[in-house]
Amino acid sequence: MPTPLIRRDSSGPVHLYDDLVPLIVAYIGSFETLSIAAKLNSCFLLHCRVQYSYLADDINLWQASETRHFASHEWDFRTPSTSSPSPSPSPITVKDSRSPLLATLHDAAYLSPSGLVFPPPSPSSNRGHASINPFSWGGPTSIEVSVQFSSFSNASHVFDFGDFSYLSRIFLCNFRTTNGITLCVRENHEAKYVDSATYDGFEEVGRWTHLVITMEGPCTKLYKNGQLIKMSVTSQEPEECLRDAQVLGAYLKGDGFHMEGVIGFLRFWNGKILSHEQVGELYEHAEYKRKPAKVKVTKRVFLTFSGEQYM
């Protein structure tokens, strides 16, 4: 969110009304901007400091940040340093930034600056995966995930969310040993599949794929890298239930179908269907696409209204 704006008459910081953002944008939109220090809490306009830090569009970045802000659950697996594989006595956990729910790493899985890593099989350790605490969800749902494969094994599961009755499951994997995408929504023994062609599948080995899935009624949409690649109007909505068997990087029912690669982050929106525009904003400003700061220049822009001047 924007950082504090200092009023020039030294009467103290003020806060920015959301409906004034377009007014600021209209003025500074022509700049190659990226960090805008601005807050306001009066009907006076302001002067704000524009700081060059990233070569991107700040306003769309704000919108993407707002969409992320309203996520019901978010696990960001990227860490400053690489961890060791999670030992059984004291496993590594990643906290949901929206709730106390934890994602717990098992066996060979570990964390890195890229995210949650599922390495290739090793004679000395079991295949890695992660589990998420049970919680109730269902109905209209949107899910966002960033994933990078290191190989396309048979039906490598990115996630498999369900319950121990196996009556309700939602899983995402590659199709057989190809890069095609398979999404399955299973309710009461009836499975509905949404598949992509290989040319619209996961990116090649070693490259990130940004996916968003929206499920509402019989309509399921699959977005890849900000674009709608598949829509089914004969699918089904996940039922509201306690999902007490939820895994990442593996098959819910046990051994087999493990993923080899990395998951960067995972987000849920319960009861909300993201629009095409919101999906595009999330992809355009996905964190792993952001470039590091390159320019140190700071510009000061003075805006006045009713004789008041801000900086």
Same domain, 120 and 43: no
CA distance 231 to 194: 8
* Same domain flag for 190 and 232: yes
CATH number where 179 lies: 2.60.120.200
**How crowded is residue 100: how many other Cβ atoms within 10 Å of its Cβ?**
8
Residues contacting residue 30 through CB under 8 Å, at least 6 positions apart: none
- Rounded Cα gap, residues 5 and 18, in angstroms: 14
- At residue 84, the pLDDT reads 83
Are the C-beta atoms of 128 and 249 separated by less than 8 Å? Answer: yes
d(CA 108, CA 172) in angstroms, rounded, equals 21
Quote the pLDDT of residue 10: 38
| Digit-coded pLDDT (tens) for 238-291 | 999 999 999 999 998 877 799 999 999 999 999 999 999 999 999 998 865 544
Residue 63 lies in a domain: no
Does residue 91 belong to any structural domain of this protein?
yes
Residue 66 lies in a domain: no
Considering the domain architecture, whether residues 41 and 165 belong to the same structural domain is answered as: no
For the segment 13-40, what is each residue's pLDDT rounded down to a tens digit? Answer: 433 334 434 434 443 443 333 344 433 3
Domain ranges, residue 148: 72-289
Work out the angle at residue 105's Cα, subtended by the Cα atoms of residues 244 and 111, and round it to the nearest 5 degrees.
140
Query: In terms of domains, do 43 and 139 share one?
Result: no
Number of domains in the chain: 2
Same domain, 237 and 305: no
Q: Are residues 171 and 248 in the same domain?
A: yes
Give me the pLDDT at residue 125, please. 77
pLDDT score for 287? 63
Phi, psi angles (nearest 5°) of residue 165? -80, -15
pLDDT score of 63: 62
Question: In the chain, which stretches have pLDDT less than 50?
Answer: 1-59, 290-311
**Residues 42 and 127 placed together within one structural domain of the fold:** no
